[in-house]
Structure 1
């Protein structure tokens, strides 16, 4: 399994474990945070956990991985978030249980 570096955010990310990029990655951060956290109008007020959620999705997208696994249904799946992220960023979000079922069907596991 490959190691995926998350986008660095000053004051949040651990130095040496993140990729600090250009401002060109900011639109992706803004768009994802808008989908995940609709109720927060000022995105500068996101908590560290919320920033981490967005960073994990960005890392997933940048690494071009197939399935993003999460147990956090509230932030990633509820209220059509999964569908919006799939449509806009082509990121497939599944719970671990959904991934097991999908892979079992895909590869005829018993």
Structure 2
């Protein structure tokens, strides 16, 4: 089984590709979504290098990120009315962002304690 963060990172990158190819969505909203998603990718990549993500809580948080990234990708590739799709993508992106922030807070707390 592949690392959940690697899978989540891959799904986020695939979602970016889908959004770039999508011509029917409002450009300004898609640009905001893409920028937000691009901001999460470096945090996910950095998180993969942190030892504490292998702990029980770290694994739980990484699975949460993977689940949310999977839902985001599914929504981005699922065809539904344009406005509803963009709103759902934004909601799923917020879930991914919240999960990534929780994991970052978790590994940052370890860095704070050990310094």
Q: Answer whether TM exceeds 0.5 for this pair.
A: no
Larger relative CO (CA 8 A, sep 6+): 1 or 2? 2
Q: Which has the higher helix share?
A: 2
- Would you tell me which structure has more strand in proportion to its own residues? 1
- What TM-score results when the alignment is normalised by the length of structure 1? 0.32
